[in-house]
């Protein structure tokens, strides 16, 4: 499984993602510079976290105009798997590959902590190694993770089973205090209608090595590594 | 060149004597630009003119030290071809004037000091001092400083692993922001900041030069008053540019085209060019017309002393200009060849064909004034040392007193702060903030680096020698508690106005204490920074020597299962290593409960201190310890409470002690040094006690870990002396700081 990781100026989780796909999983992994206009031969594309273009104007708003983005959109539209993590999620919404927008956390502060999540859909190529409704812990680290979309669109997402992860309490409840940033319906990660583009604020690449305190993230990358036939 | 001292006044801070000295060195009167250059280079900030003679006292050599003080950061060999590069620096004045940008650019500056050595920054820490949080201005300062640190570190992608925060009235008008950075590199990748090779190009890279930070170094070398709150002296940070600068500079260093590189920090272009020439024993000539400017109207003086951020100066090998330019252009950064290295030992500044400044390099460096300032103990010193212990009433309820201490901002959880810092990025954080020393692993090795910042200004006020010595001892003790052996330290000496004899008295003693501790504990000082004039409207800070220390963990087991302060499981033995004496002077208990900062601070026996560290590290490496926590501020009872509060599984403690031979409050809240509380499995107790006895130390079996409460009984008494539930402790501990920031409370 060949992974490609897009590097914008200001990306800073690029090395961490490569560490997991390349060093932990041993898969060939290539950095793709934002000025490129073509993707190399890859099977999975990751848009990593960070502060592309310093988050100036709006997180992800400038990165979507990078030369590489046409190729990214083309790759996604052909049905290939694309994962946007944190700033990558913001870029995907700005580029129109995913619905909604990510607003500033309702605390107005950056938040870095472990968060409990519920896997809302394991019927995706990103999550098929998780159990249905499994509770997992992943780190979050963001200033703008407050996922927003209007009520009708949210209902549409729920109906289409596009919600992949939700913030919950340790025991799996969607209590107010379990929502770290004010996201609509506690949404932490979604996929597009076709199911091949995933955007998520939590960082699975930071939970893929036991020495760092948790390994609930590694199965996301392993899901991509292993075959999945949608039932 | 005309004598334009009058028109240069805005950028000139020389004394009359210093001005006369410049005339002698030049054999003529300096012009306006030259005056600005002399003022910046001879400022306290750049020249260390008041402190230099004391700093020579620090032990700076060590078997593993590759570069000590004098370079941009210290470099220590950690084996397997890896080196650790680290330094701490202050950004106090700017952070009071404009807290967000002041703190942010402090982080930016210390990061540049690290990557300019060829190292990739892998961790940030800080040491902060604020006034009490019930004053709105202090809350504003803290909120903005924390946001500034977070904003810069998070964006650039270097984890901020905490540090320390202390609150005291004395910092209301002089908050302190000390920032520490650690980098790692392969040994052969280290570069230095020396110019060399006559005719080699001098190249400017990074942001354009603007007026921000003009006067910064001189501002940081003076007392503040209402008029000096000039925001334009504070620089504005752009972490996005710095991120690109890190990547481009590391790429450049690996390209083999580089001779030397230095960041443009305090005194900007002036200090970077002259210091590089000085280290390389050569001259440098630059042309101001070639400097990338934000605004064409900026004057030569302003260009020379601007402290615009995210700029570097480098000397490349002749003929490599295009290759260097290509690297920076790829990262969309300005790059311009602005001059060349000369053999005449002169710093020459031209503007096209016009000569703007011409000063011998040594006149700015070696010839900078050095002062042996008058020294005098403060008149109130004896009064401060006098503590009438009999007048201190022992608490009626030790449980209540403990809760009061745990809820005071100095002891309360700093989570509100560190959860704003991305402390996980780079995938190395093994011990996150909030648990004593922090630790990162080095991928691909069996090594980890632990780090801590420490300082106790109440001790330093009462007795500067012990304030200095204990900062070192406590930092090393914090490292021992995670099984790390110190490899070196960096210090930040925050003091008041050096022109006051009382300031230099405390400065000298604090340095003496630190130096003695370093010698006896065998920890070299590899870098550091002095921040004087921490005074506003004539009110100075307490002497505040701060230590940043790095330790090496060389055991795979201690990386996989790190040693942390929290109790791990019920039914394990709790042991206090070290002796408790009646030492109430300078304690947090005395300050918070009895509103007194008086008495002799605790003594420190360096031999014992070293033995305690040796025992704990040996026991940790042997896998005997389940938890370890040093007894510092707050004494034994606070340390035990912290072991419960930091337990990952809500483990408490049930303790039974012999009636102590000293006052009970002295036993429970006294701050005797060289003590560490550990927990071990019952079957490992004998082995631990043997190790302790072999080092000639004493220890006390205090009791056992248990369910979610802290209960302490004294033999012979029917009712426990302390009995508090973990829930009650958590309530005060977790809200002690958060409760001052309303917005946060609404969200939790």
- Is residue B88 a contact partner of residue B179, using CB atoms and an 8 Å limit? yes
- Is residue B739 a contact partner of residue B409, using CB atoms and an 8 Å limit? no
Catalytic, out of B12, B45, B423, B613: B45
Q: Does the active-site annotation cover A112?
A: no
Query: Cα–Cα distance between B307 and B266 in angstroms, integer?
Result: 6
- This model of the complex carries an ipTM of 0.96
For the segment B713-736, the average pLDDT, to the nearest whole number, is 97
State both tokens at B557: 């087991």
Helix or strand (DSSP H, E) at B471: helix B464-480
Contacts of B331 in chain A (CB under 8 A): 9
For the segment B688-697, the average pLDDT, to the nearest whole number, is 97
Helix or strand (DSSP H, E) at B678: strand B676-680
Strands (E), B432-572: 438-441, 448-454, 485-494, 525-531, 535-536, 539-540, 544-553
For the segment A43-59, the average pLDDT, to the nearest whole number, is 94
| DSSP class per residue in B692-718 | HHHTT--EEEEEEEESSEEEEEETT-S
Given an 8 Å threshold on Cβ–Cβ distance, is B441 in contact with A211? Answer: yes
Determine the straight-line distance between the first and last CA of chain A, rounded to whole angstroms.
22
pTM higher than 0.90: yes
Give pLDDT tens digits for B124-182.
Answer: 999 999 999 999 999 999 999 999 999 999 999 999 999 999 999 999 999 999 999 99
The backbone torsions φ and ψ at residue B76, rounded to the nearest 5 degrees and listed phi first, read -125, 135
**Model confidence band, residue B4 (pLDDT cutoffs 50, 70, 90):** very low
- SS3 state of residue B287: strand
Contacts by A94-99, CB closer than 8 A, 24 or more apart: A94/A58, A94/A59, A94/A60, A94/A61, A94/A63, A94/A64, A95/A60, A95/A64, A95/A69, A97/A72, A97/A73, A97/A192, A97/A197, A97/A199, A98/A190, A98/A191, A98/A192, A98/A197, A98/A199, A99/A149, A99/A153, A99/A157, A99/A190, A99/A192
For the segment B266-293, the average pLDDT, to the nearest whole number, is 94
- SS3 state of residue A77: helix
Helix or strand (DSSP H, E) at A197: strand A197-200
Closest residue of A to B157, CA-based?
A12
pLDDT of A227 > 90? The answer is no
> What per-residue confidence (pLDDT) applies to B214?
74
The backbone torsions φ and ψ at residue B381, rounded to the nearest 5 degrees and listed phi first, read -60, -45
Query: Cα–Cα distance between A140 and A201 in angstroms, integer?
Result: 7
Query: Cα–Cα distance between B645 and A36 in angstroms, integer?
Result: 51
Nearest chain B Cα distance for residue A78, angstroms:
30
| CA within 13 Å, CB half, A48 | 30
Contacts of B154 in chain A (CB under 8 A): 51, 110, 112, 141, 143
The backbone torsions φ and ψ at residue A212, rounded to the nearest 5 degrees and listed phi first, read -95, 5
Mutating which of B419, B747, B748 best tests the A interface, going by the most A Cβ atoms within 10 A?
Answer: B747
For the segment A153-169, the average pLDDT, to the nearest whole number, is 97
Query: Cα–Cα distance between B456 and B545 in angstroms, integer?
Result: 8
Burial degree of A152 (CB within 10 A; 0-12, 13-18, 19+):
exposed
Given an 8 Å threshold on Cβ–Cβ distance, is B420 in contact with A109? Answer: yes
Closest residue of B to A111, CA-based?
B420
CA gyration radius for chain B?
26
- Is residue B488 a contact partner of residue B525, using CB atoms and an 8 Å limit? yes
> What per-residue confidence (pLDDT) applies to B218?
64
CA dihedral A201, A202, A203, A207 (to 10 degrees): -170
Q: Which domains does chain A have, with CATH numbers?
A: 3-225 (3.40.50.880)
Give pLDDT tens digits for B181-198.
Answer: 999 999 999 998 999 999
How many residue pairs bridge chain A and chain B with CB atoms within 8 Å of each other? 93
The backbone torsions φ and ψ at residue B271, rounded to the nearest 5 degrees and listed phi first, read -70, -35
Q: Does the active-site annotation cover B45?
A: yes
pLDDT of B73 > 70? The answer is yes
In sequence order, what are the beta bridge partners of B67? B75
Count other C-beta atoms under 10 Å from residue B250's C-beta: 18
Residue B199 to residues B345, B347, B437, Cα–Cα distance (Å): 13, 14, 47
State both tokens at B245: 């600068």
Strands (E), A104-194: 111-119, 135-142, 146-148, 163-167, 187-191
């Amino acid at each position: 499984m060949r992974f490609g990781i897009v590097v914008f100026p200001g990306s800073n989780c690029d090395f961490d993602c490569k560490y997991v796909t390349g060093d932990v999983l041993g898969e060939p992994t290539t950095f793709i510079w934002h000025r490129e206009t073509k993707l190399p031969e890859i099977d999975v594309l990751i848009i990593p976290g960070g502060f592309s273009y310093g988050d100036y104007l709006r997180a992800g708003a400038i990165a979507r105009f990078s030369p590489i983005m046409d190729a990214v959109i083309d790759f996604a539209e052909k049905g290939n798997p694309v994962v946007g993590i944190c700033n990558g999620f913001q870029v995907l919404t700005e580029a129109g590959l995913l619905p909604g927008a990510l607003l500033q956390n309702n605390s107005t502060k950056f938040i870095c902590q472990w968060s409990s999540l519920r896997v809302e859909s394991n019927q995706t190529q990103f999550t098929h190694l998780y159990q249905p409704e499994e509770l997992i812990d992943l780190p979050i680290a963001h200033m703008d993770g407050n996922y927003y979309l209007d009520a009708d669109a949210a209902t549409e997402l729920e109906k289409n089973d596009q919600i992949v992860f939700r913030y919950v309490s340790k025991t799996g409840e969607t209590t107010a205090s379990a929502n770290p940033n004010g996201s609509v319906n506690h949404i932490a990660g979604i996929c597009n209608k076709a199911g091949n583009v995933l955007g998520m604020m939590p960082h699975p690449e930071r939970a893929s090595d036991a020495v760092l305190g948790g390994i609930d993230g590694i199965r996301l990358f392993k899901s991509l590594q292993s075959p999945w036939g949608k039932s | 060149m005309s004598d334009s001292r009058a028109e240069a006044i805005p950028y000139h801070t020389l004394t009359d004597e210093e001005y006369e000295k410049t005339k002698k060195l030049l054999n003529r009167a300096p012009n306006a630009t030259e005056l600005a250059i002399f003022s910046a280079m001879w400022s306290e900030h750049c020249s260390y003119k008041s402190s230099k003679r004391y700093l020579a006292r620090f032990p700076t050599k060590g078997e593993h030290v590759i570069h000590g003080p004098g370079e941009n950061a210290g470099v220590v060999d950690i084996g397997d071809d890896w080196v650790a590069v680290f330094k701490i620096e202050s950004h106090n004045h700017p952070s009071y004037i404009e807290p967000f940008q002041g703190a942010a650019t402090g982080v930016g500056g210390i990061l540049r000091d690290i990557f300019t050595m060829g190292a990739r920054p892998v961790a940030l820490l800080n040491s902060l001092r604020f006034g009490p949080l019930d004053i709105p201005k202090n809350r504003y300062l803290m909120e903005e400083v924390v946001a500034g640190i977070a904003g810069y570190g998070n964006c650039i992608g270097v984890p901020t692993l905490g540090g320390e925060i202390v609150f005291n009235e004395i910092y209301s008008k002089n908050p302190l922001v000390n920032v520490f950075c650690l980098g790692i590199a392969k040994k052969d990748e280290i570069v230095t900041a020396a110019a060399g090779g006559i005719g080699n190009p001098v190249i400017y890279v990074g942001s354009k030069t603007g007026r921000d930070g003009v006067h910064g170094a001189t501002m940081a070398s003076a007392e503040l008053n209402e008029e000096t709150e000039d925001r334009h002296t504070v620089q504005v940070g752009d972490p996005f540019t710095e991120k690109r600068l890190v990547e481009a500079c590391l790429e450049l260093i690996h390209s083999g085209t580089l001779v030397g590189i230095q960041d443009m920090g305090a005194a900007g272009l002036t200090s970077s060019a002259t210091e590089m020439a000085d280290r390389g024993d050569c001259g440098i000539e630059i042309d101001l017309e070639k400097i990338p400017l934000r605004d064409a109207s900026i004057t030569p003086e302003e260009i020379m002393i601007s402290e615009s951020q995210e700029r570097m100066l480098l000397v490349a090998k002749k003929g490599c200009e295009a290759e260097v330019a290509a690297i920076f252009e790829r990262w969309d950064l300005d790059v311009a060849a602005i001059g060349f290295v000369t053999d005449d030992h002169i710093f020459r500044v031209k503007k096209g064909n016009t000569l703007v400044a011409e000063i011998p390099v040594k006149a700015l460096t070696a010839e900078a004034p050095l002062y042996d300032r008058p020294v005098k103990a403060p008149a109130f010193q004896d009064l401060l040392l006098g503590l009438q212990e009999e007048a201190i009433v022992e608490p009626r309820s030790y449980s209540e007193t403990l809760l009061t201490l745990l809820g005071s901002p100095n002891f309360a959880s700093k989570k509100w702060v560190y959860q704003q810092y991305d402390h996980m990025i780079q995938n190395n954080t093994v011990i996150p903030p909030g648990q004593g020393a922090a630790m990162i692993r080095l991928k691909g090795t069996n090594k980890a680096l632990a780090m801590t910042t420490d300082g106790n200004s109440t001790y330093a006020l009462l007795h500067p020698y012990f304030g200095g010595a204990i900062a070192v001892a406590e930092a090393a003790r914090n490292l021992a508690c995670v099984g790390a052996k110190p490899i070196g330290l960096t210090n930040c000496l925050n003091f008041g106005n050096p022109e006051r004899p009382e300031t230099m008295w405390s400065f000298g003693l604090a340095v003496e204490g630190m130096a003695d501790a370093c010698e006896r504990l065998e920890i070299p000082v590899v870098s550091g920074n002095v921040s004087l004039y921490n005074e506003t409207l004539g009110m100075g800070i307490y002497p505040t020597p701060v230590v940043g220390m790095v330790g090496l963990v060389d055991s795979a087991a201690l990386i996989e299962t790190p040693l942390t302060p929290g109790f791990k499981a019920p039914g394990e033995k709790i042991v206090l290593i070290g002796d408790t004496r009646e030492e109430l002077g300078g304690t947090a208990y005395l300050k918070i409960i009895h509103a007194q900062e008086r008495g002799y601070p605790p003594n420190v026996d360096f031999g014992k201190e070293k033995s305690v560290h040796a025992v704990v590290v040996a026991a940790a490496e042997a896998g005997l310890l389940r938890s370890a926590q040093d007894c510092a501020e707050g004494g034994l009872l606070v340390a035990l409470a912290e072991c419960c509060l930091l337990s990952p599984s809500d483990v408490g403690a049930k303790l039974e002690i012999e009636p102590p031979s000293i006052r009970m409050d002295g036993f429970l809240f006294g701050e005797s040094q060289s003590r560490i509380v550990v927990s071990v499995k019952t079957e490992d107790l004998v082995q631990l006690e043997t190790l302790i006895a072999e080092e000639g130390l004493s220890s006390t079996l205090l009791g056992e870990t248990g369910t979610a409460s802290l209960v302490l009984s004294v033999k012979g008494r029917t009712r426990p002396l302390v009995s508090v539930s973990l829930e009650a402790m958590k309530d005060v501990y977790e809200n002690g700081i958060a409760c001052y920031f309303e917005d946060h409370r609404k969200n939790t």
